[in-house]
Structure 1
Amino acid sequence: MSSINELRRLRGSQKGARQQNKAAFFFLLPWFVGLFGITLGPMLASLYLSFTKYNLLQPPQFSGLDNWTRMVDDERLHKSLEVTFSYVLVSVPLQLAMALGLALLLDRGVRGLAFYRSVFYLPSLIGGSVAIAVLWRAMFGTNGLVNEALALVGIQGQGWISEPGTALSTLVVLNVWTFGSPMVIFLAGLRQIPTSLYEAASVDGAKRWRQFRSITIPLLTPIIFFNLVLQIIHAFQTFTQAFVVSGGTGGPADSTLFFSLYLYQRGFGHFDMGYASALAWVLLLIVAAFTAVNFWASKYWVFYDD
């Protein structure tokens, strides 16, 4: 009799587990629809289109590796890669340095911390918007606010966004200004470092700079690594700011021709969607390569408190 009751309980538990699995699948269904219908499906479609000649108006025609071989002689593509790499390699370290510096300042116990944290985080929310890009273009124009401020101290300004030598720098400054997101993450990481370590270091005579180098930075390396990977990926995808500031041309003299902007021009400006799809996959491979290198190099400088 006991074995029969045990068998019934076993069957009941199995039935309950199946019902829970069905409920879990039901709640996960929207995510699966998004994965296959919005992410994975279009990615596979773009991979196919990268081997075709497609102008958005006629059915795609298979062209083999033509789109990929065209990249070798595409001078504007090479220029866009140069601009994008320069932007990423300059703006990301500056942005993280700014974020870490302000996080250290706020971590010292500033009054109204929640207010300042919200204010500093705000640029990360609106920095990629069209409105901010339009504002940035006005500020760095010939008659913009930046030149008016320089005129107050007797400095003759220039059209910062109309000069090839300075146009990209204005976008670098804009990206550095959106330091709020990594700053909040840095601040959370700083709050996890035990104060007893600093107290012990002070007893041993270590000054603040020594404590920063020997305690703060090593224990913060996982957070630095996390922010570094995220911001590199985000920087490679920058589009709105360059499009608005340059009027969609990438000018002057292609000095703000980001890779994503050139991809847009080929796909929707020249209706060369096959080539644009190939460029999209090149961008994916570049971001994947940078991410892989960061993960490989992390074992030499990222320290985990196991």
Structure 2
Amino acid sequence: MSVKNTFKTLFQIIISEMRAKNTIKRIQELKFNDISKYYPKISIFYSDEKLITLKNILDKIQIIYINEKSEYPNDYPRLENLFEEQFIGRKKVFFKDFHGVTCSKADGIIPFEVFKQEEYNFYTTNSEKAYKCYEDIRNAVLQTSDDGESPIISAYQLKWNNNYYASNHGKSHRFSALCKWNEIENKDDSEFFNVTEVSIDNKIREEFLTTYHGFLIDSMTAFNAKEILEKSSIKPVIQVFPPASIELFNKDIALIAFGKKTRFDKIVDIFFENKNAIHINEYFKE
């Protein structure tokens, strides 16, 4: 190689490194919006079950994959297929075996055990909403459609550990109080529920863990990060699932996943260090 070509190559390398540093600087300066109002790190209904948390997250968000250009096609683990549901019929489930509910309007960020106790205290002492006895609250939760809320008749059973979650769109507070009341009075009570078994595709899970670092972030943050990377000299391959028919910033949160063993290590480190970016890989583990 001639001296001229050597200097030309070195100059191109220096320019490329300067542009890469500028991209890193722009990501460092990016405002990572707070996501706690959308996704508390500890949830009252999923505090002891990371995979069911993950399932409910993936049902609602877009996933942005960031890769380097390659002569080989990139792998995109189809996380929308990570969980499978199969109705297995009516089954007797003991209240003591429930680990949470799948829907709640509660704002509190507390473990389910604490939630049960607080709701039991409320529904046994509140002058306006207190229930006189166990049978009254049991009937209200499992039999009647009061206040326009249907009774809880369905449950999820997690195949990997056999934990149960009440499938509800209301009455989560009273169901939690009922579970605690059953415990306090040693009733060992149960009911027949329409049970759906939830399983996980381990191939998809391992594919993601092996090839990506995923971060849960605010959708506006994700949109801005995506724009910075698209306009950078790095020119990554960016794939969004599902297709962005709705712009990212119109959602609450998104998952941005960086390919491992790539030039994005320094950018990934920025996400690791930011408190408003949750490294989601840990949620894939049982």
TM-score (norm 1): 0.23
Which structure is larger by alpha-carbon Rg, 1 or 2? 1
Point out which structure has higher relative CO (alpha carbons under 8 A, 6+ apart): 2
Greater share of helix residues, 1 or 2? 1
Greater share of strand residues, 1 or 2? 2
TM-score (norm 2): 0.24
